[in-house]
Structure 1
């Protein structure tokens, strides 16, 4: 069964999770438009609003997923390593601590929920392949940025992505943001007529969560506040100064 709509923004923030199994129930175009119409109020540097989104569903989504599946079989090397193939690097290489441990922890939690044993590469690859079906969500979103834009616009896009995810919770829908689609940017570009001047940044699955699926019982652990936040309410000593 799906989840109830979030009653307010704070609840939506706390309830949002990456959903990796969806129900087949369709999402109306009106609802998708309402979500994106709300997300367009996300802030951006000097109001540049650099984001672009393509909504894909029905036969177009099926064709895109089938095309990527064909390429996955023919070119397994695309998914070797942690970074995307082609247009940009998502992770540092090598990945350092504490980030590596956090990544591994959520990965193994997810694999355990799916019954995948450590070292079972075939099962792991099959699980990764569900990314390229949008985890069976009825709607896929593909996000792009113009190639000429700089890092500030990538920050803006991140804020827009979160806005989409929070707005989706208002309507009782769930999401999973997917950097994995960037590995197949050339296929996505061809199927969806994306101009060469745009970078395929990521995708997102959108639909009604299947909360009976074991994989959706996994919640990624979050670090406590004191590990990432520091409060300063007095001037800090500068070089050469004397602190009594």
Structure 2
């Protein structure tokens, strides 16, 4: 579905409210034609899971990805949903649930033939190692991701891997290597554009310029970070006030009525 790819692009660009409107349109089309709903239900759950993740609604994201796995028999979608579910567990520090998923997202034994999903699986392994402060192991996984992502022109995966490597080198006190990773990550993210990677990279750049004793560039990076942060917070609030936000609670049966005030998600702003 073309709309499916457009929605994912909106989320990457930090335009959650527009993505939500388009998810609602897709749900409306499926509601009118039961055959469409039968065919595209797993994709709708996956999109809602990605939206919920972007809104920091992790319980809803988990429920949506689980619903996608329950309703799909497509190998690629299964792998994609499992990889995102793994990130949900990592962000929530739910190591037991993440460990239970490991076999299904192991890049060496991945059931998918997709190079992009295999590269993403290495990234998730690198992310886990980073959270556990196993930095050398994380670097090994992320370099594997970069090798595959560069070969396939997977710009978002490349920028995410570069900025995470930059974060790792910063944690190790290696400011030069960190700068060598974060600078191209920022350039690539601005071309996509990926606001979330730009937000992350600008925060690291701010710290790097402070370490280098460059207050002018430190202030520029700080202003850039503030601008990206304000843009995302404004859109986050706008999306949370939309009636369509209720869709993240839909995991089975008919679609919820999109009327009235949605539940508050103001506690997820930070």
TM-score by length of 2: 0.25
Q: Which has the higher contact order (CA 8 A, sep 6+)?
A: 1
* Structure whose residues are more often strand by fraction: 1
